[in-house]
Structure 1
Amino acid sequence: MSKKLILATLALALAGPLHAADPAPAKKPPRKQSTATYGPEDLLARTVFQSILADLALQRGDTELGVSAWADLARRTRDPAVIARATEVAAGARHYDLALELTRLWLQVDPESTQARQTESSLLLLSNRIDDLAPQLAKLLEQDKAGLPNNLMHLNRMLSRHPDKKAVQRLIDRVAAPYAEMPEAHFAMGLAAANADDPMRAQSEFQKALQLRPDWEAAALAWAQFQARQSNATALESLSEFVAANPDARDARLTLARLLISERRYDEARVHFDRLLKDHPDNPEVIYPVAMLALQQGDTVTGRAQLERLLKSDFPDKSTVHFFLGQLDEEQKKPEAALAHFRQVTAGDQYIAARARAAQILLQQGKPEEARELLHATRGGSPAEQAQLAIAEAQLLREAGRGEQGYAVLEAALAKYPDNPELLYETALTAERQGKPEVMEMHLRRLLALKPEHAHALNALGYSLADRNIRLAEAQDLIARALKLAPDDPFIMDSMGWVLFRQGKLPEALKTLETAYGIKADPEIAAHLGEVLWTMGRKDEAARVLSEAVRKFPDNEVLAGAAKKFLP
């Protein structure tokens, strides 16, 4: 007999009432009915036996038998512990209606059980019966007077996964309204309104919360975060007023400073960060943004000092700190120090980039094979990381004068990951360097099919056509689309200037190239600007632009070619 059949047979044997007498066999003389009842030992034994049977059924994968056995035992014994277990088993099997029935039995047996009410509330939520939750939540809030403020604050978190935010708002309004004298109640109703996209009600409730407790940071932050969905300017004004009135409000000031950074108001943000650093000199949450802001503003002295402080703190992401310190050392021509920092980046978003930079330093030190070995030893878990490693190795090989090998590395990686945008773009540019413009165009068109608004791909394809002086109308259209996506990009402006030059539109080309060169004094932009000036007969200006650029960028091939062509 199979084990499953044995379990079923045992279940049937236990199917009768727990206290029922055995029925008289058919066609036998009647015998005297026993008046004996099961004693506590018999009841305990049968309860233990049936619970073992139920759990054994669950272990064997017979969920239906396990659930029904526990439910039967709960109804028979009316024991709160047994009912709790039966409810847990039914809920685990997603028999929510049965689980709710059992919680009601539980509350009949033990009306004051907080656990039973919490379980019923969870089950109502799981079974999407949110409108039935109000009585249970109200009772739970009423039972726990000491924890009432905290419980009100957690209402929205408990209901956060429910998709009907309007229903959640109605529920929280019902259970929180009786506590209108408490700021936590208005906070709960305000947050529910914000989540339900009810801005007028959210504003009203958050303001009531702040009227009851004017220095309450949590309410000020929640209101500002909601405002920021619509307008950073409004959120900034709101937080600025709160911080002015509550200068010691650390989290509010920190959020305000971060919002100012997002608006590129760096000087104002720096004032707040300086205050935070003065008040909380050892707090990594303050030190890290101060370091980043200093680097953003070009203050490398402050940036380095704060990053080095982070290394001595309990800041968890030391890899990121080492990455930025490595960048600083590399910029300051300290390759050994930079290499040491990059080698200590062992995880995180900068891991691949750090290994690539370390390989570049090794290449510059005349150790190309060690550089490649470093990249080969780098773990790349995801396809995106594998693609980054291939791109880094190809760049390494190109700079070592082994461009064909680099191109082969990219082609091999692209065969494995044919739709990776970064690989498509890098392989396309490398193909052009290898004198394969048709291959470049194929890869860029594939990239644009995947990402039609890839500004750099549009620009690269348009510039390639313009540089080869073919299909100039199409080239201009591609570059115009790129410029629309990135209107302040000087390199896309340079491409537009170059295609205008190819079309003979010299004044328009000159204006565009001068704007681009004013934004970024790049050697290739200088080469194009010099050629346009020369063609327009303004040879002295052309010579000055080219000569100055050559002094700054003596190793640029495009600029060297222009200088050779036009300078004496």
Structure 2
Amino acid sequence: MLSRWSKFKQLRHFGVGGVVVLALAACASVPGKQTGQATLAKQPLGSLVVATPDQNHDLLAQLMAGEMALTHTDLKAASASYSQAMMLSNDPKVAEQAAALAIAVRDTDGAQAAIARWQALGAKPAELAQARAQLALSQGNTDEAQRQLELLVATNDPDAWRQFGRVLIGSRDAAQASQLLEAVATPQRLPSDPQAWLAMSELGDKLGRHAYAMQVAEAAVKRFNSAETYAWLGQMKYRDGDKAGAKLLFDKALAKDPKDAHLRLAYATLLSQGGDYAGASRLLDNGPQDADTYSMRAALAAKANDTKTITRLYSQVQHSPDDVRQGSAYLLGQMAEMLDKKEEALKWYDQVPDDDDHAFDADLRSAVLLQDLGRSPEAHEQLAQMQTDYLDQPALLRRAYEVDAELYMDDQQYAQAEHAFSRALQVTPDDPALLYGRGLAFAEEGDTDKAVSDFRHLLELKPDDTDATNALGYTLADANRDLPEAERLIEAARAARPNDPAIQDSWGWLQYRLGHLDVAEKTLRGAWTAHKDADVGVHLGEVLWKQGRQEDARRVFDEVRKIDPQSTNLHNTLKRLNP
């Protein structure tokens, strides 16, 4: 749902809260018994005896054991410890936690005892009804669950409907939860709070009860006539394919609250999903701006390749209020990149905080920019630091290794690239993209056996992978070995993507290896015309040279030099053709 204004913000707020950590201790002491008259005064603490409770009667020990068990997700052990702790403590929070854990592990007797203890310690009626409803659901007792849920909402507790939602979200049986939602959350029972209505409508939608969700959403519009109710119903209408109805509702929502940036964002998202990028841009251009509106405006401009708008936005965000500018460092870096202001982009990315959602991406883009600026050692140093920083996050660690490898490939440092791909494969074994990349690195190094091994393994994992099929066929053809197999592979790749210049290059090079120079020249010229790739040009030039057309070959080689002055392939080919 759209609103961010009250306790019914999003369904995720129905989630169970964190574990309460208590630091409570108990100890008792008794004075020592006097054994007779003493001629000398005794030390004041000389006869003090401290009674140390055993672990079963030590509240702090039980709480610590419970927390330790939770850290290891051992719910049964945590439940046992909290069950013991609640009998030693007068804190209702301990009993509450004991009840929650007993319900989670389906310990009916333990849950009932914990709820009774919690009630004795002063739990609110709404809290008790929520716990009893959860217990009934875990037992499959729908009638009792409904009775408790009706008691819960009847308390008129400010949190009652949020607690109601938490019970249903936590149900293991979606059909059971749906039945209870429709039985209890009726328009007659829902409170005079539009957020509660919208939350129940969204919950129904998530549970697959679309008719109920629509009914509640339409009733909310009639009852409250508010921007948020119009917007939510508009979203539902749009998903149902009623785009005209959705736009009408969003127009009414904006008329109610034209300054709401989040409402404008939702409407703009709807318009852009329908392909109306210009309408979405116009909508966001007007009214108050924040980091989110600027971000979407920039995304729309980038999609339209509108450099003029990006330039204007770049200036606007730089001169926006401090909180907006500081929260937009990553966006400013992206826009600076789009405007080819690479040094400025680096500075903006450096200002992205470590706790920002885009911190990893900012570091990654910085490494790529350093490479583009000819500062390869700094780029790899940056990626090495990331590989340390994200050691405990496999997905991000894999990406850092992969980019490191790709930058080495760009610099034609194939041994280092292979090493980086290999480290990435230690993080995510049998990753197809990494196997493909490492296979290319091996092939460029001249280690055909290892390249072939990686490509074959990749095809075992993904038999229909056209890129891997072509790569294996080309590698065999380039090594001038197993040419019948190479032909079968490249034929299969051509059938899948007949107009792909890379596959045409493979086919042309195979024909050259087979001695079919005319076919090779025609195929490679077609690939070269479609895409001026340095390697394709080198292949075409070599074929022309072998045909005795050295001047034509030299002209192609000159074009290759303009595309890639450092081409190792061109250097090696010229050395072989004209030693």
Q: TM-score range by the shorter chain?
A: 0.5 to 0.7
Shift in CA distance, 448/350, structure 1 to aligned 2, threshold 3 Å: farther
The residue identity in structure 2 corresponding to 1:55 is L
* Pair 1:285 & 2:296 matched: no
Which residue does the alignment assign to 1:449?
A: 460
Q: Distance in 2 between matches of 1:208 and 1:516?
A: 64
The residue identity in structure 1 corresponding to 2:177 is V
Q: Distance in 2 between matches of 1:525 and 1:132?
A: 74
The question of whether the paired residues in 1 share the 8 Å contact of 2:98 and 2:114 is answered with no
Which residue does the alignment assign to 1:134?
A: 146
Deviation, structure 1 residue 421: 4.0
The question of whether the paired residues in 2 share the 8 Å contact of 1:530 and 1:546 is answered with yes
Which residue does the alignment assign to 1:340?
A: 347
Which residue does the alignment assign to 1:272?
A: 280
3-state SS in 1 of match to 2:171: coil
Q: Residue 170 of structure 1: which of 157, 164, 179 is its match?
A: 179
The question of whether the paired residues in 2 share the 8 Å contact of 1:254 and 1:273 is answered with no
* Pair 1:254 & 2:254 matched: no
The question of whether the paired residues in 1 share the 8 Å contact of 2:472 and 2:486 is answered with no
The question of whether the paired residues in 1 share the 8 Å contact of 2:201 and 2:213 is answered with yes
Deviation, structure 1 residue 441: 1.7
Shift in CA distance, 418/184, structure 1 to aligned 2, threshold 3 Å: closer
The residue identity in structure 2 corresponding to 1:276 is L
Q: Distance in 2 between matches of 1:349 and 1:60?
A: 35
Stretch of structure 1 that moved more, 501-510 or 551-560? 501-510
Shift in CA distance, 126/517, structure 1 to aligned 2, threshold 3 Å: farther
Shift in CA distance, 245/481, structure 1 to aligned 2, threshold 3 Å: farther
Which residue does the alignment assign to 2:169?
A: 160
* Pair 1:419 & 2:430 matched: yes
The share of aligned pairs that are identical, in percent, is: 23
* Pair 1:55 & 2:59 matched: yes
3-state SS in 2 of match to 1:133: helix
Q: Note the 1:105-504 alignment, pairs <5 A.
A: 113-125=125-137, 129-144=141-156, 147=158, 152=161, 155-156=164-165, 158-177=167-186, 179=188, 187=198, 190-213=201-224, 215-218=226-229, 220-221=231-232, 224=235, 228=239, 234=241, 236-247=243-254, 248=258, 251-262=262-273, 265=275, 268-281=276-289, 283-307=290-314, 309-310=316-317, 312=320, 313-315=322-324, 318=328, 320-321=330-331, 323-325=333-335, 327-328=337-338, 332=340, 334=341, 336-344=343-351, 347=354, 348-361=359-372, 364=374, 369-378=377-386, 379-382=388-391, 383-394=394-405, 402-408=413-419, 410-411=421-422, 418-452=429-463, 454=465, 456-465=467-476, 470=483, 471-476=485-490, 478-479=492-493, 483=497, 491=502
The question of whether the paired residues in 1 share the 8 Å contact of 2:231 and 2:250 is answered with no
Shift in CA distance, 151/506, structure 1 to aligned 2, threshold 3 Å: farther
Q: Distance in 1 between matches of 2:207 and 2:475?
A: 50
RMSD: 5.4
Shift in CA distance, 239/419, structure 1 to aligned 2, threshold 3 Å: same
The question of whether the paired residues in 1 share the 8 Å contact of 2:62 and 2:85 is answered with no
The residue identity in structure 2 corresponding to 1:295 is A
**CA offsets, 1:455-493, max 9 Å, x none?**
54344334434556722443235525864xxx9976567
The question of whether the paired residues in 1 share the 8 Å contact of 2:334 and 2:345 is answered with no
3-state SS in 2 of match to 1:197: coil
Unaligned runs of 5+ in 2: 1-27, 29-52, 66-76
The residue identity in structure 1 corresponding to 2:179 is R
Question: Structure 1-normalised TM-score?
Answer: 0.64
3-state SS in 2 of match to 1:353: helix
Q: Distance in 2 between matches of 1:473 and 1:462?
A: 7
The residue identity in structure 2 corresponding to 1:278 is N
3-state SS in 2 of match to 1:144: coil
Which residue does the alignment assign to 1:100?
A: 112
Stretch of structure 1 that moved more, 371-380 or 165-174? 371-380
**CA offsets, 1:226-269, max 9 Å, x none?**
964xx7xx265553232244444754542343345456x2xx22
Which residue does the alignment assign to 1:31?
A: none
3-state SS in 1 of match to 2:98: helix
Q: Distance in 2 between matches of 1:108 and 1:560?
A: 87
By relative contact order (CA 8 Å, sep 6+), the higher-ranking structure is 2
Shift in CA distance, 418/300, structure 1 to aligned 2, threshold 3 Å: same
The question of whether the paired residues in 2 share the 8 Å contact of 1:254 and 1:276 is answered with yes
Deviation, structure 1 residue 130: 4.8
Shift in CA distance, 340/502, structure 1 to aligned 2, threshold 3 Å: same
3-state SS in 2 of match to 1:163: coil
The residue identity in structure 2 corresponding to 1:174 is A
The residue identity in structure 1 corresponding to 2:334 is F
The question of whether the paired residues in 1 share the 8 Å contact of 2:217 and 2:232 is answered with no
Deviation, structure 1 residue 450: 4.0
The question of whether the paired residues in 2 share the 8 Å contact of 1:288 and 1:307 is answered with no
The question of whether the paired residues in 1 share the 8 Å contact of 2:330 and 2:352 is answered with yes
Q: Distance in 2 between matches of 1:237 and 1:511?
A: 51
Paired residues in the alignment total: 484
The residue identity in structure 2 corresponding to 1:116 is L
3-state SS in 1 of match to 2:185: helix
Deviation, structure 1 residue 328: 3.3
Deviation, structure 1 residue 452: 4.8
Larger Rg: 1
The residue identity in structure 1 corresponding to 2:248 is E
The residue identity in structure 1 corresponding to 2:184 is V
Deviation, structure 1 residue 210: 3.6
**CA offsets, 1:14-42, max 9 Å, x none?**
xxxxxxxxxxxxxxxxxxxxxxxxxxxxx
Q: Distance in 2 between matches of 1:563 and 1:113?
A: 87
Shift in CA distance, 491/236, structure 1 to aligned 2, threshold 3 Å: farther
